[in-house]
Copies of this chain bind each other. A is one copy, B any other.
């Protein structure tokens, strides 16, 4: 396997007025919930899979005991106004350089399909458990702001104060260098839980932008499923912490014997 490997499921894909939407794991899994919901509800077609040494060395196991190598995938959702190229996946990069390399690839593919605008979806952690319907925005071109305000996106000076970390941020920064307009839309969320309510707020904004009519109800159920998986993963992690260290030498506190 190469450092990054793209497997094309469908060749000769042509897109009309393509827009690129990115919903990878992150705060409250808000972006992932929304993008996966779009893919499902719009009967999207998978066009390619991305595998990489920058993802964790792991397979997931499904309800049939079948394993799936962790990856990212791109789908095409046909809508009246736009063909949506949607990026969803199991993980973001495990390493700093991997983030840059994968986002470079995502942008290369987006450009190949003629994408003129990018929306990255995510959650913005408030640290508060009270619910908010707010969707916060950041853009790589201020000319987008007025239009997005009309769809219900809020903009606040210097927010998010800590910047935007990971693919959601990096894609805005990198596409700016190539003069492609991009916005990051963030549902406000506590940051402590998988958050379907925040995802519903964000989905409503997306529906306005793309003039879609999508049932936001199933998001609750999808979030419950995801919450279960996150819980299982945490349980395994806890168990692993109690186990004897099987690997002797730990790269990070390497001291020398002898």
Contact = CB atoms under 8 A, between A and B. Distances in A.
A125 to B, nearest CB: 5
A200 interface: no
Interface of A: 1, 3, 7, 24-27, 29, 31, 51, 53-70, 91-97, 99-101, 103-104, 120, 122-127, 137-142, 145, 155-170, 172-174, 176-177, 184, 186, 191-194, 229-230, 232-258
B235 A162 contact: yes
Contacts of A229: 161
B164 A58 contact: yes
Contacts of A27: 243, 246, 255-258
A257 B56 contact: no
A247 B18 CA distance: 30
Given A237-B245, A239-B191, A248-B237, A169 B91 contact: no
B245 A170 contact: no
Contacts of A164: 58-59, 61, 67, 257-258
A158 B26 contact: no
Contacts of A3: 97
A72 to B, nearest CB: 13
A5 B93 CA distance: 20
Contacts of A250: 252-253
Contacts of A65: 137-139, 142, 145, 155-157, 159
A258 B56 contact: no
Given A29-B246, A139-B66, A251-B95, A161 B53 contact: no
B257 A100 contact: no
